[in-house]
A and B are shown apart, each in its own frame.
Chain A
Amino acid sequence: SQQGEEDPQALSIQEGENATMNCSYKTSINNLQWYRQNSGRGLVHLILIRSNEREKHSGRLRVTLDTSKKSSSLLITASRAADTASYFCATAYSGNTGKLIFGQGTTLQVKP
């Protein structure tokens, strides 16, 4: 399978705590993207990190990319109950047709 792996599969934390999710992939990429999905809805793009970047920030989100280890992490700081959702990493592989390969996802529950 081309799908990447994410861990943990599920994460439950208290409001105000930080949440860290990890993603691994298999081949060379152009970029790696993180998306959020609320239950029964489509995906919302959170952040894109290019293969030549190592870290990127957007508000309470921090993404790192280690191409030598073929891995990425998403950190959500000071979590809120509204952050409860599933989070997916997706990779755009080098030389492909613009399509994305999604990881298995992490389900995050933030308790108020």
Chain B
Amino acid sequence: GAVVSQHPSRVICKSGTSVKIECRSLDFQATTMFWYRQFPKQSLMLMATSNEGSKATYEQGVEKDKFLINHASLTLSTLTVTSAHPEDSSFYICSAKSTGTVYSNQPQHFGDGTRLSIL
């Protein structure tokens, strides 16, 4: 089945550090990937839609300069949390859909998430 790998799984760093999270589709090509944020005991909130070869589309209220997204290839999207502060601590999850199925009735495939803790 379709596998999405997310790395790292856990990051603990000091305030002011920039942190990069990678999302890879291992056995399929993904023109579009999605980044979510999840607070403890809450649901997933869509942050942005990552498009290969073009700018990401951010949801309302998400700072694009804070959360930099790069989708450099058909199998890799990265989310960089710039100058992270304690309030950025959260669980970040990516997902992907196979190229050609973005608008179809097919499920998204999720990574295992990255737990980010800013001290």
Contact = CB atoms under 8 A, between A and B. Distances in A.
Interface stretch (A11-19, A39-47, A68-76): A39-47
B113 A41 contact: yes
A67 interface: no
B110 A43 contact: yes
A97 B113 contact: no
Contact of A104 (B34, B42, B112): B42
A25 interface: no
Nearest to B4: A42
A43 B105 contact: no
Nearest to B44: A102
Contact of B107 (A42, A48, A88, A99): A48
Categorize the interface residue count of chain B. Answer: 20 to 34
Given A33-B107, A48-B107, A99 B46 contact: yes
> Mostly helix, strand, loop or mixed at chain A's interface?
strand
Categorize the interface residue count of chain A. Answer: 20 to 34
B49 interface: yes
A42 B111 contact: yes
Nearest to B93: A42
A50 interface: yes
A31 B101 CA distance: 13
9 contacts: A42-B4, A42-B111, A42-B112, A43-B44, A88-B43, A97-B103, A98-B97, A99-B34, A103-B43
Interface of B: 4, 6, 32, 34, 41-46, 49, 57, 91, 93, 95, 97, 102-103, 105-113, 115
9 smallest CB-CB distances across A and B, nearest first, come from A98-B102, A45-B107, A42-B110, A43-B110, A42-B112, A102-B44, A102-B43, A31-B105, A104-B43
